[in-house]
Amino acid sequence: MASLAAHLLNPVLRYQVRRKLSGAGDPESVRRAFKTPLPVPRGVRYTEAVIGGIPGEWAEPTAGARPAMTLLYLHGGAYLVCSAETHRPITGALAQRGIRVFAANYRLAPEHPYPAAVEDGLAAYRGLLEQGIAPDRLAIAGDSAGGGLALAILLAAREAGLPMPARAVVFSPWTDLAGTGASAIENDGRDPMIVGSKIAQGAEMYLHGADPLSPHASPLYGDLTGLPPLMIHVGANEVLRDDSVRFDAKARAAGVISLLRIWPVVAHVWPMFHRFVPEGRQTLDDSAAFIRGAARG
């Protein structure tokens, strides 16, 4: 059963975010829809860094031993908005749960269209490996566009002959920039944040004429053989629900371990609101345990 907080948050987001996105026809309009800052977790040290030539920041717990697992995190925001700093509610919460997180500030569209984000994410992943972080102590995660980007980076890393990380976790990932999932229509009136009819328009600001069916843009259309164990979280009422459902089915068909969790009522990328929504805390608990479980001795 969904929490009261999850129910109460949805009309707020419908007014604060979806209302603005429904009229957004340019990048600046999209950016204005995501201006409200959220509380940042305490007990976490945030440090600017450059990994593999890509700027970003480390989020690390201030107390206790250095975590066994390192996580590369890719923030969401339709490839147009947000940053490592805006996503501290997630990266900081994962650091609180015993994970060392590098959040990459990959280049954003439309100034830097596809494939700039994939190139930057792959460079950051390669940079972490070159720092001596063993693949079995490394994970990758992301939300929304950053979730799709995390999965695209896995495909790009495999093609480049790089080792796979131990685990991957994605929250409400955008895996199909063509917007062909049935939920884009079925949930258009239910999703309190994302407008189903705007998916293709938003994707074009990033793609800038590139093929939306390219696997590095839409990992749903890639060969998923050899990917690491996945944990996928999505809301039942999201317009992007089928981006997760179809990716999970295709991954399992390719022999990949994939754990799909469909949550009732919750909004798009609800872990961002974990201070208010208990489902967000539970999702982060489950995800951190999944990532930490990859650590050996």
Asked if pLDDT for residue 297 goes beyond 60, the answer is no
Tell me if residue 244 is catalytic: no
Quick one: pLDDT at residue 296?
62
Query: Is there a domain that residue 265 lies in?
Result: yes
**Considering its fold, how many domains does the chain have in total?**
1
Find the catalytic residue in 144, 172, 244, 287: 144
Query: Is there a domain that residue 165 lies in?
Result: yes
The separation between CA 52 and the C-alpha centre of its own chain, rounded to angstroms, equals: 20
Query: Is there a domain that residue 297 lies in?
Result: no
What's the whole-model pTM score?
0.96
Residue percentage of the chain with pLDDT more than 70: 97
Quick one: pLDDT at residue 33?
67
> Domain range spanning residue 248?
4-292
Tell me if residue 268 is catalytic: yes
Quick one: pLDDT at residue 21?
76
Tell me if residue 3 is catalytic: no
Find the catalytic residue in 57, 60, 238, 279: 238
CATH number at residue 92: 3.40.50.1820
Query: Is there a domain that residue 243 lies in?
Result: yes
Find the catalytic residue in 172, 268, 274, 287: 268
Query: Is there a domain that residue 44 lies in?
Result: yes
